[in-house]
Structures are given as C-alpha cells and as structure tokens.
Amino acid sequence: MSERRLSPFISRGKPPIRLEGAHARVLETARNRLLVTSTVFALAFLVISGRLIDLTVLDQSGVARLAGRAAPDATGRGAIVDRNGVILATSLPTASLYADSHEVMDPEAAADRLMTVLPDFDRGKLVAKLSEGRFAWIRRNLSPNEQYAVNRLGVPGLHFEIEERRVYPHNRAAAHVLGLTDVDGRGIAGVEKTFDRDLAAGKTLRLSMDVRVQDMLRREMVAAVREFRAIGGAGMVLDVHTGEVLAMVSLPDFDPNTPGEDGVGVRFNRAAKGVYEMGSAFKLFTVAMALDSGTTTLRGGYDASKPLRVARHTIRDYHAENRWLSVPEILVHSSNIGAAQMALDVGGPAQRRYLGRFGLLTRSSVELPESGRPLTPKPWRDINTMTVGFGHGIAVSPLQLAAAVATVVNGGLWRPPTVLLRERDAIPAGERVISARTSAQLRGLMRLVVRYGTGRKADVPGYLIGGKTGTAEKLVAGRYRRDRRISSFVGAFPIDAPRYVVLAMIDEPKGNKRTLNYATGGWVAAPVVGRLVTRMAPLFGIAPKLDEELEVKWKPPAPAIKKPLFIAVKEAIADARGRQIAAN
C-alpha cells in the first residue's frame, strides 16, 4: 500500500514537500539581504552625488573655488640661485587659514578668540569673514607659531590649507632683479615673472649675479645716496666679455619678503627701466665714432675758446679752458663745446648708425620685464646731433650705458647684456661696432680722464681704472634745472686688459661740505666706483700693479700736458707707490 501510494507521486517528478520549503526560505533570505545591501549602496551613491552637485554647481562659495584649485606641483616652485649656486629665492611650505561659516557657531566669539593670537585684525572685517559663505580666507602663509596658536584655540570652522611661500634669504640685496610673486605664487616682476613657467615647473634658474658683488655695490650706493641726500640711485657691474650682469642695484629698493611695507614707487627699477640723459659719459661714444670713422685723430682738436651759439641755443663748458683743445683734452676736461663740434663733423646719420650699433636707440633685450625704451630726438636735426654728442637730448637706461661702454673697451664688440649665467660655449660672438685699434685708443683716453681729468676721485692706488664722468641737468616741466642733476661715473678695470664695467648713478644729489658743495659726477659718483674696485678686485684675483701702467704713446700737440703720456704715467705710478707706502 505504501508503495502504491508513493508511486504516482514519484512518477510526476515532484520533490518532497519538506525539502521544497527549506530551499525557498534560503533563497528568500539571500534575496532580502541582497536587496538591503543594494539599497544601502544606492542611497550612499545618491548622497555623495547630491553633495558633489551642491559643492560644484549649487554652492558658488569659496569651497568650489578651493576644490577647483590645482594642487601645488610636487617639486614646488623652482629656486633661483646666483652664479656660484647661492640661493636667492626659494619656496617653503606654509599653512593658510580659512573659515567655513556653516561650521562657525558664534562668529563674534570666534573672532574674539582668534584675535588673541592674531591681534592685528580689524574685528568687524573678521566677523564678516567668519559669517560669509562656505569658504573665506582669513590669513595666508602663517608662521609655524601662528598655526600652532590658532590650532590650540579649537574654534570650529577654522581650517588650514598647506601652500607655498616664496622666501628671499638676502632680503633687499637683489630685489629688482629677482622681482617677486603674488600671494598665489605667480611671478609678477623681475625674473620671477619672465621665467614664471619654468619656475612653476620646478626648474632651478641660475643667474649671472654674484651676491657678494651685489652686496658690495648696494652698500656703496646706499652710503652715497644717504650722504648726498639723493632721491635715488642705480649701480651696475658688467662683465665686458660676456655681457653678464654681476650686480644691479636700484635705490630706493624693497624687501620682496614683505613687498607692501616699503611705500609707493620703490619697485621702479632705475637701473633697467629708468631712462636718463647721462651727460658727458656720451662723449666716449662721440670720440669713439670720430676716431673709428676717420673724422679726426688723437692729434686733432677743436676750438673751445668761446661758447657755441646755434639758433636759440648756447653750448658752454662747465669747466671752460677757453682755448683750442686736442681730442684727448676734450675728454679729460669734458668739453661740451669740443664734443658738439666733433659730433657735427661725424654727422647725424653716422652718429645714429653708431649709437644704434652700441644698443642705445632700442629697448634692451635683457631678461627683465622692466626694461626702458630710450628717448631719442624726433626729428634728428644738427642741433640734436651736437647735444647728443655730449649726452643731452637722448635718454637711455644705466644698463644700456654700461653695455655700450663694455663695447668701447672690450675690443669693439657689442654683446647683449644678460642676467642669466652664460656657459662658455654660449657666449655670443658679438657684433663689431668699432675697430680693436679704436677700442685701445679709448682705453688710453679713459685712463687719462681718471688720472688727470674729471674722474680723478675714482683713482685708487694699484688699480688701473679708466672711465668718464657724467653730469646732466634734469628736464622738469620743459626746462632744465641746475639744482636737479643726474650725476654718474662709468669706469672699466683693469683698463689695460678690461674685465668689468662699473657704473654708479646718483639721482638729484646735493653737495656738502666735504665736496665743497659740488654734486657733479666726479665728486659724488666717481668715489663710489673707486671704493668698489678696491673691494671686488681681490675677490676676483686682480692683483694691484705698482710697477707698470698702461702706456698711450701720444704726445699732445697742446701745451696742457707737457710730457709724453707714458712718462707722466710712470711718474704717477711712483706717486701712487709713495702714497701707499705712507698709508702703510
């Protein structure tokens, strides 16, 4: 019976009732768990998606802006170093403080607590920041002590973001060359701006500057500007064979670590951006082009016995000799009358060609965004040719003047100035401006100026310095003012085998008792160059010379210098030796 009752059931192929119920419960439990898990994940996804939409689309506060900011490069902003590898600018990690007002429970109480550690805030403005939006910068680039003090307060809603702070270890020393960055680390001046992309990529920038020479030059310039109560100044040291700038000073200057604390106008680069009538320093170029073109010779000369009158203009000499002057004497005595006649003989077209090749008619290609454009006569008439011959009626930057003088003394080759280190195989061949013979003649004449002429106060025992003074009245409201001058001296040393050009320019100096109330280039700027040479020459292994002097074998046709120059120079060396022995 049992068999007959089971056989129909088995024949239909259905499992026992007890097994079917257990299997169904297991499947149902698994389905329920899977459904619950899926639902949880779906809800989580919806919450996260909603939050992202809220932050990036709906909420236009600073949180979205912060989220969109690119993270700093892992390498950070690249360092800037001098030619010897000394760090001039680098970046350090710092914390910046911001607030989320949705988390700040009591803005006024939070402001009061925050001001206990950051007391220089304006309370009203701080309360407003703690009350506005989801993101508000409170202070960028906190010091470690400030960050620690704020963190100890435990105020809800205050957060930190790690950023970078640009640091300039030498402070003001090379501020105008380096420039600076804005609060977000972007270059806004100097080489920081010119090479912003490379520095932002973490590349190290190597400059031609020598921080030791930079510091020496700045100290001398600061002392001169202070002594003569000037409104500013500019200084330069340039390698005559490579065009590299070893030092560049502009005063007043600023501290790029705290750029907002030095007042208005201090970021103006007088050395590269400012253009000035440089006065008698231009006589070097007038004599160079006259000798090079064959217009005159060292034995030639001009009548300087009385002022020149051209139309409504009168050209006078500051220290009038009132006689015929030889070409060397025109430089030695800095005769405007002689230089004007010489320039007129050269002619306006030739003058413009030479000045253009000296780099004095176009903006300098130096790697600084602050580069001034020269001011030139338009139209260029005969009277302009004459005044340009002694440095009036044309305005150039001190950097351009230094590069042109380097051309005069280095054998006659012009090379563009640079603030970047040039490897030996990357030094430009240079463009021929004057012949090597003319360059040698000018070196001798520049030595005469320092030994016997207006540049005597640049002469120092043991070092052969050659150069030229410059004093130019400033044009104010359409009139030249005798009480406002640009006084300068540009020199090269050692003049028998030049290596460096040194320039010092003082803007509106005022004479004092020591200078007998004179404020000309020979009194206020020439001594700066002399002192700097004595300091930097030993640094570069340039030994003093007491037994030899540059010989210019020329016998002047005028009676002003009674002996052949080489004899006079040897006697001058004996005098220098005597002064040094006496000093020791």
Alpha helices, DSSP H, located in 97-239 = 107-114, 123-129, 144-153, 175-178, 190-194, 196-200, 211-227
The torsion angles phi and psi of 247, rounded to 5 degrees, stand at -155, 140
The structural domain count of the chain equals 3
Question: Is 73 domain-assigned?
Answer: no
pLDDT of residue 126: 87
- For residues 168 and 294, state if they share a domain: no
Alpha helices, DSSP H, located in 207-294 = 211-227, 283-293
Whole-number Cα distances in Å, 271 to 207, 278, 371, 412, 490 = 17, 12, 9, 23, 13
Q: Mark whether 131 is an active-site residue.
A: no
The torsion angles phi and psi of 19, rounded to 5 degrees, stand at -70, -40
Q: Report the distance separating Cα 43 and Cα 54, nearest Å.
A: 16
231 closest CA partner among 279, 268, 194: 268
Q: Residue 465 sits in which domain range?
A: 215-257+272-583
Question: Is 379 domain-assigned?
Answer: yes
Contacts of 302-307 spanning 24+ positions with Cβ under 8 A = 302/330, 302/335, 302/337, 302/338, 302/341, 302/342, 303/341, 304/330, 304/335, 304/337, 304/338, 307/337
Q: Report the distance separating Cα 33 and Cα 352, nearest Å.
A: 93
Residue 494, preceding peptide bond in cis (omega within 30° of 0):
yes
Q: What is the CATH number of the domain that holds 165?
A: 3.90.1310.10
Residue type, 190: G
- For residues 515 and 569, state if they share a domain: yes
- Cβ atoms 181, 72 nearer than 8 A: no
- For residues 249 and 330, state if they share a domain: yes
Q: Report the distance separating Cα 402 and Cα 247, nearest Å.
A: 12
- Three-state SS for 475? strand
Q: What is the dihedral of CA 451, 455, 458, 463, to 10 degrees?
A: -30
Sign of torsion over alpha carbons 362, 366, 368, 370: negative
H/E stretch holding 490: strand 479-493
Q: How many residues does the chain have?
A: 584
- Pick the last residue of a domain from 207, 224, 245: 207
- For residues 162 and 306, state if they share a domain: no
Strand pairing report for 158-167 and 87-99: antiparallel
- Cβ atoms 398, 505 nearer than 8 A: yes
Alpha helices, DSSP H, located in 413-564 = 436-452, 521-524, 526-536
Dmax of the chain from CA atoms? 160
H/E stretch holding 35: helix 17-53
Residue type, 367: E
Question: Is 267 domain-assigned?
Answer: no
Give the Cα-Cα-Cα angle 323, 391, 451 (nearest 5 degrees): 60
Question: Is 243 domain-assigned?
Answer: yes
Beta strands in 277-340 (DSSP E): 301-304, 308-310, 313-315, 323-326
Tokens of 340: 């004007």
- For residues 199 and 223, state if they share a domain: no
- For residues 239 and 380, state if they share a domain: yes
- For residues 448 and 558, state if they share a domain: yes
pLDDT of residue 561: 44
C-alpha atoms less than 13 angstroms from C-alpha of 321 in its C-beta half-sphere: 21
pLDDT mean for each 10 residues of the chain (584 residues): 42 50 65 72 72 56 40 69 95 86 85 88 86 83 86 86 88 94 91 96 96 97 97 96 97 90 85 95 97 92 90 85 90 93 96 97 95 94 94 95 97 96 89 95 93 92 93 82 90 93 97 92 96 94 71 45 47 47 50
Q: Report the distance separating Cα 226 and Cα 228, nearest Å.
A: 6
Question: Is 241 domain-assigned?
Answer: yes
Question: Is 420 domain-assigned?
Answer: yes
- For residues 319 and 419, state if they share a domain: yes
Question: Is 144 domain-assigned?
Answer: yes
Tokens of 335: 């005769």
Q: What is the chain's Cα-based Rg? A: 37
Q: Report the distance separating Cα 464 and Cα 544, nearest Å.
A: 8
Whole-number Cα distances in Å, 265 to 84, 224, 234 = 31, 20, 14
- Cβ atoms 532, 476 nearer than 8 A: no
- For residues 152 and 18, state if they share a domain: no
Cα first-last separation, the chain: 143
Q: What is the CATH number of the domain that holds 510?
A: 3.40.710.10
Tokens of 96: 């910046």
- For residues 394 and 528, state if they share a domain: yes
Q: Tokens 């000093």 appear where?
A: 583
- For residues 276 and 223, state if they share a domain: yes
Q: Which of 96, 208, 250, 280 is catalytic?
A: 280
- For residues 385 and 530, state if they share a domain: yes
286 closest CA partner among 234, 326, 228, 346: 346
- Cβ atoms 516, 457 nearer than 8 A: no
Question: Is 75 domain-assigned?
Answer: no
505 closest CA partner among 312, 263, 267, 248: 248
